[in-house]
Structure 1
Amino acid sequence: MQTPSRRGFLATAASFAAMAGAGRVLGSSPAAGMTEPADLERRAFGATGMDVTVLGFGGAEIGYERTDLAVVERLLNSALDAGLNVIDTAECYVDSEEAIGKTVSHRRKDYWLFTKVGHMEPEGWTPGSIERSIERSLTRLRTDHVDLVLLHSCGKDVLEKGECIDALEASRKAGKTRFIGYSGDSHAARFAVESGRFDALQTSVNFVDQESIEKTIPLARQKRMGVIAKRPIANAVWRHESEPTNNYVVEYWRRMKKLGYDFTSGEPAKDPGPDGAAGVALRFTLSVPGVHVAIVGTSNPDRWKMNARMLREGGALPSERFDAIREQWKKMAPPEWVGQI
C-alpha cells in the first residue's frame, strides 16, 4: 500500500466527514478514580496496565462535522457517566481535540486519552513537527500528558528511517505521553509491530477488512501490545443500496457485495438489535482475539448507548457465526484486499 500523502490523507478525512452523519506498565494510574461501568466490558490493554472499555469514543465526527459544543459536552459527559473510559482523537480532526479539552478536561482522571500525530504540517513525520504537534495537542486537550500518542498512518518507508519513532520515544521520556503506538494497516502496521518499539497498534478490522486478523494482530497479541480496532463496523456500509460515490466507503461497499454476508441485506440491515447488521459487525470485531477496544465515532449523544446495549443484549458473537464470517472471507477475498486506512 502506498504511503498516503498529507493532501491525500486529509482528502480521505474530508470524505469521511461527508458520510459520517449517518509495552510497559507504569506505576501510577491517572484513571484510578474511574468507576466500574455497569454495561461495558473492560479488557487489559496489552502490557500497559490500562483497563479499557470495549467501546471507545472516536473523535473524528465531532471535529469534521463541527458539532455544537453543547452537544459534545452532553455526548462525552453522558458517556463517561455510564463508564466509557477511552477517548480517541487526532490533531487533524479539525477542532476535535479542542472540543474534548473544553468539555471534559475537568474529568481527566475518568478516561484514557489517545491522540495521533503526523498531519499538522507538510513535513509531518520529522522530529520537530511531531514535537510541535504533541505540544499543540496537549494545549488543545487542556492536559499535561496523554495516555497514548500514535503515528497517524505513515508508510513503512517512513517507519524504517526511525526518526519519527525516536521522536515519540523522546516525548514518552519527557512525560508528555505514557505510551506510544502506530495507527495504520498492512505492511506498515506489520513493520511497526515487528519493530518492538510500540506499546499499541490501531488498525482497521471488520467483516470486510480482515487482513489484520492474520497479518498483524496475532503478533501484536504475542508482544502484549494494546490493540485498537478502527472502522469496527465498516462505516455501516450496508446503508448504501447502490454503489456510493464517497471514496472513503466505496471499497468496503464493493467488498460487501462480493462477500454476500446474510446480515448486510434485507431485514437484518434494518435491525437495530444485536443480530442486525450493526450488532453482528461490532460483535464480530470485538470477538477477534487480541482486540481490546473498538473506536466508534458519533455526534449523536444516544448512538453510543445503542452500541453498548447491542453488546450487552447480544453478548459474545457465537463461535459458529464468527467462524462462518471468517471462512467466507478466506474463500472470497483476493490478495489485493489489504487493510484500508
Structure 2
Amino acid sequence: MEKRRYGNTDMDVSVLGFGGGEIGGLGGPERGSPGATVEQVGKLLGIALDSGLNVIDTAECYNNSEELIGSAVSHRRQEYYLFTKCGHSSGFDLPHWDPKLLELSIDRSLRRLRTDYIDLLHLHTCSEELLRSGEVIEVLQRAKAKGKIRYMGYSGDQDAALYAVKCGAFDSLMTSVNVADQEAVQLTIPEALKRGLGVTAKRPIANAVWKFANQPDNPYLHAYWERMRQLNYDFLEADEQESIGAALRFTLSVPGVHTAIVGTVNPARWAVNAALASRGDLPENQFQSIRSKWEETAVGAGWRGLE
C-alpha cells in the first residue's frame, strides 16, 4: 500500500488508515455496526496490517474501541502508528476539556490501548476560544515531554481548525474532507501543507450516504445526505463500489492529504477499500469536475465543514 510522509514527522503513513468508531458501535447499525468483538477486531486488523495498513485511529469516547484495539493488536504494536483523541468527559465526573480530565484521559487511553506511548494525540474538536486560552495545549505539551505522546494534533473543522493550524503548536490536522464537505480543501489544508503539518481526512467517503434512497434515521448523516442530493455528481450513476471508489480517491487526490481514515467491522470491506485506494488519484478532469460542482453549489448555500 502506498505510504506518504506525514508532514514534518518521522512517520510514513499508509494512505488508507483504520478508523475505530464503528468497532465501538459509534452511530449504530446505520454507520456499519452495533459494535464488534475482540475476535472480529483481531481478524480485521490482522488482515489490514498484513496488507500494509499502518495507521489505527480511535478516540477515548468511541465506547470500547480503545480496549478492543489494545486487546486485539497490542502484540503487533511496532507495526502501526497509533492515533487517538481526547477532550470528552466519557466516564469521568469532570467537565469536557478540564485540564485534569485531559491528563486522566491520556493515562486511561494508554492503559486501554496496552501501550506506553501514543504516536499522535488529537484534541477532539475543541473551540477556538479554548485553543487560545492555551491550557489544553499545555496538557498535551506536558504529556509529550513525559514521553506519553510523540506528536500533537487538532481534530476539527472551520475557523477553530484554521487557528489550530496557524498557531504553531500542532504537528497534525484531522479534518473532514470528502465529496460532500470540501471547505477544508481551501480553508485549512493549504495552510497545513505550507506549515508542514500532517493531514488526516476523516469521513473520507461522506459515509456513502447516497446509498440511502430516503433520508436515513441517523441525524449525523442528514447534512451529507441533503448535500449529495443537491450535488448529484455524475459518478453516482455507477454501482455502489465504483461510486465509493471515486469518493475515496477524490479525498486522497486532495493536495496535502496524507491518509484517509475509514471504519468498518467487515474484513472483506477492508480488502475492497484497499483495492480502491490502490488505484491511485482520480484523473485530473474528474477531480476538477467534482471540485467545480462543489464550488457552484456550496458557495450560495453557505456550506461549512462538518464534524
TM-score normalised per structure 1: 0.85
1:90 aligns with 2:56: no
Q: What is aligned with 2:220?
A: 248
Q: What is aligned with 2:211?
A: 239
- Aligned pairs (5 A) from 1:98-117: 98-117=67-86
Q: What is aligned with 1:42?
A: 3
Q: What is aligned with 1:337?
A: 303
Moved over 3 A (4+): none
Q: What is aligned with 2:16?
A: 55
1:191 aligns with 2:157: no
Separation in structure 1 between the aligned mates of residue 221 and residue 166 of structure 2, nearest angstrom? 29
Structure 1 SS opposite 2:220: helix
Q: What is aligned with 1:302?
A: 268
Separation in structure 2 between the aligned mates of residue 180 and residue 311 of structure 1, nearest angstrom? 27
TM-score normalised per structure 2: 0.94
- Aligned pairs (5 A) from 1:168-317: 168-264=140-236, 266=237, 268=238, 270-272=239-241, 276-312=242-278, 314-317=279-282
Indicate the percent of aligned positions where both proteins have the same amino acid: 53
Separation in structure 1 between the aligned mates of residue 54 and residue 248 of structure 2, nearest angstrom? 18
What residue identity is the alignment partner of 1:81? D
Structure 2 SS opposite 1:302: helix
Separation in structure 2 between the aligned mates of residue 142 and residue 69 of structure 1, nearest angstrom? 14
Count of paired positions? 295
Where structure 2 has 5 or more consecutive residues not aligned to the other structure, the ranges are 26-33
Structure 1 SS opposite 2:267: coil
What residue identity is the alignment partner of 2:282? L
Separation in structure 1 between the aligned mates of residue 277 and residue 9 of structure 2, nearest angstrom? 25
What residue identity is the alignment partner of 1:114? F
Report the CA distance shift for 1:223/1:59 in structure 2 as closer, same or farther (over 3 A): same
- 117, 126, 146: which one pairs with 1:145? 117
Mean Cα displacement is larger for which, 113-122 or 148-157? 113-122
Displacement of 1:335 in angstroms is 5.5
1:157 aligns with 2:129: yes
Tell whether the 8 Å contact from 2:211 to 2:240 is kept in structure 1 after alignment.
Answer: no
C-alpha RMSD over aligned residues: 1.0
Report the CA distance shift for 1:172/1:335 in structure 2 as closer, same or farther (over 3 A): farther
Tell whether the 8 Å contact from 2:179 to 2:206 is kept in structure 1 after alignment.
Answer: yes
Where structure 1 has 5 or more consecutive residues not aligned to the other structure, the ranges are 1-39
Q: What is aligned with 1:5?
A: none
Q: What is aligned with 2:291?
A: 326
Displacement of 1:301 in angstroms is 1.1
- Aligned pairs (5 A) from 1:58-77: 58-64=19-25, 65-77=34-46
Structure 1 SS opposite 2:296: helix
Displacement of 1:159 in angstroms is 1.2
What residue identity is the alignment partner of 1:262? D
